[in-house]
Amino acid sequence: MRYIEPHGHMVSRVTDDYIDMVTAGCACVCEPAFWAGYDRSSVNGFYDYFCQLTDYEPKRAAKFGLPHFCWLCINPKESEDVKLAEEVVALIPKFLDRPNVLGIGEIGLNKNSRNEMKVLEMHVDLAARHNQMILVHTPHLEDKLKGTRLIIEVIKRDKRIQPERVIIDHVEEHTIKLVLDAGFWAGMTLYPESKCSPARAIDMLENYGSERLWLNSACDWGVSIPLNVPYTALEMKRRGWNAEDIDKVVYQNPLKFLSQCKKFKLPKA
Amino acid sequence: MTRQQVLDLYFMDARFKLIELAAFLDRVDRAEGQADFRLDAFRQAVGELDGNKPERAKQVLLAFSDPTAEPIEKAPGKGAVGAWPGKGG
């Protein structure tokens, strides 16, 4: 089996995870910028983090034969501080030409506040000005429905953005149709305690079809399972999916979306 | 999949989770003190499982969701608790 892990926070994982992922058939990993678990004290913290994502982490992944790509932003969890966000958004263009940078992400909302909205709009403008693709984080739990609606409004309002170059991640049963109907790609995140389980993700694939959908583990420093994409592929097999249809979801779909970025190239098998 | 196949694959897992849910509600009942908005939301969500209504998973998620449309003035923190406390919360 082959698969792409399109959303993994590998800086917070151990090298054993890289070994397990490659052994399971992972063809590449893509790492959106995210919250460190604490607020960074200045823009310099982001400079260091972006260096880690664009320099050190791809080298660490390469030791296990795994291509590593990333997305850059200030995460919505740190967006209440608009001044800091302005400094980080001004820093990002210095990194956009680096070979493993795919675009702006994971931007979005966390608690759906006015400042988070301002920072989201700043990121969307940044992506538009630099012709970058976008990866969007939608809020957790009770805030997801409202946040997803607000995010869609913000992105649709900016006519420079092509919806097919945007993926809105962490959809669940109450948000997936909103995202797909608006023309965006949708990501389903496979978590053990929140977001969605492998069984529910497959339910959604069976209900909504597999166009413009991908699966990811979003593994990070919290409760998460780096192999949840291949585990879900196994679940699909148990439910009678054939190998070609599984491959479309776990490999060809992310390949199709990510290949809209010219820098996204995989080594020939 | 046929219904029989779905039951073969998922019945034991669903049975396990249903008993966990029942035990959780028993545990809340045995405990002292006042519950908060989360229990009301939970009971409302459990109601969505009843009968033959379609899209139960979606309805459960909606029962826990903030239904408002306007951004809030300021984020009260970073975390989510799983249920909407209401406009006063």
Distances (CA, A) of A22 to A4, A18, A32, A169, B31: 10, 6, 19, 23, 47
The whole-model pTM stands at 0.97
pLDDT at B53: 83
pLDDT at A268: 82
Residue in A with minimal Cα distance to B74: A113
| Reported confidence tier of residue B88, pLDDT bands at 50, 70, 90 | low
The pair phi, psi for residue A113, each rounded to 5°, is -90, 165
Give the number of A-B residue pairs with CB atoms closer than 8 Å: 80
Choose from B12, B66, B68, B87 for mutation: most chain A CBs within 10 A: B66
What's the average model confidence in pLDDT over A116-130? Answer: 98
Question: Are the Cβ atoms of B68 and A238 closer than 8 angstroms?
Answer: no
- Among the ranges given (A11-20, A190-199, A255-264, B21-30), the one the predictor scored with the smallest mean pLDDT: A190-199
CATH number at A226 reads: 3.20.20.140
Q: Is residue A203 part of a domain?
A: yes
A51 Rama sector, left if φ>0, alpha if ψ -120 to 50, beta otherwise: alpha
Q: Which residues of B touch A74 (CB under 8 A)?
A: none
Q: Is residue A263 part of a domain?
A: no
How many domains are there within chain A? 1
Q: Which residues of A168-181 are buried (b: 16+ CB within 10 A; e: fewer)?
A: bbbbbbbbbebbbe
Question: Are the Cβ atoms of B75 and A116 closer than 8 angstroms?
Answer: yes
Q: Is B3's Cβ below 8 Å from some Cβ in A?
A: no
Q: In this complex, which of B10, B57, B72 lies closest to A173 when CB atoms are compared?
A: B57
Query: Hey, which residues 30-89 in chain B have their CB within 8 Å of chain A?
Result: 55, 57-58, 61-62, 64-69, 71-84
- Domain with A152, as residue range(s), is 3-258
User: What SS3 class is residue A3?
Assistant: strand
What would the pLDDT profile of A207-232 be if each residue is shown by its tens digit?
A: 999 999 999 999 999 999 999 999 99
Question: Are the Cβ atoms of A143 and B80 closer than 8 angstroms?
Answer: yes
What would the pLDDT profile of A89-106 be if each residue is shown by its tens digit?
A: 999 999 999 999 999 999
